[in-house]
Amino acid sequence: MEKETINRLKSVIRDIPDFPTKGILFRDLTTLFKDAEALRLVADEMKNLYSNLGVTKVVGIEARGFIGGSILAHALNAGFIPIRKPGKLPADTVAKTYEKEYGTDTIEIHRDSITPDDIVILHDDLLATGGTMAAAYELVNAMHPKKIYINFIVELSDLNGRKAFPPEAEVTSLLVY
């Protein structure tokens, strides 16, 4: 991505100090999503990354991963699959419980959403510590698709979130802080 595009996108992301707790600098992507030009730039950059890879499904992580994931699925003519918190999906699901900084959390995906013929992109808006996406990767990987790519709009590199993934995982972030 060109430096000018990176600077443009970073300029519309709002920094909120001490949210959700003191000492945290929160990168608020809602200001990027509401900016039509910035949203189009993100969509174009994500599409360019994956357009020739035969992607059949994009999996978005609740909730902000639904935004970019849906846009990416549409751009690639692929299906969209949500990963949600427990009890939110209506059909038979598989679940993964994982450790967070202060306890555990669980995510679910429909059991019939991924097949061995699928090439999948897992998408979320931001990579911090990587716990949720690592759990999502394990869920999807257990369904044995042909290939899994992992994509973020923003990566907070000082939190070392990439270490949450196995070495063979292909992780791409558009913007790195």
Distance CA 133, CA 124 (A): 8
Q: Are 93 and 111 contacting, i.e. CB atoms less than 8 angstroms apart?
A: yes
CA-based torsion, 57, 59, 63, 68: positive or negative: negative
* pLDDT, mean of residues 43-54: 97
CATH of 53-176, one of 3.40.50.2020, 1.10.1040.10, 3.40.50.300, 3.30.1490.20: 3.40.50.2020
pLDDT tier at 84, thresholds 50, 70, 90: very high
Closest CA to 142 of 165, 109, 167, 170: 109
Global confidence as pTM: 0.95
* pLDDT, mean of residues 86-91: 97
Both tokens of 163, joined, read: 């270490």
pLDDT in tens, 100-153: 877 899 999 999 999 999 999 999 999 999 999 999 999 999 999 999 999 999
Give residue 92's Cα distance to chain centre: 23
Closest CA to 87 of 102, 106, 104, 65: 106
For the chain, domain boundaries: 53-176
At 45, give phi and psi (nearest 5°): -65, -40
Q: Are 176 and 157 contacting, i.e. CB atoms less than 8 angstroms apart?
A: yes
Both tokens of 12, joined, read: 């519309």
Give residue 143's Cα distance to chain centre: 18
Q: List active site positions.
A: 64, 101
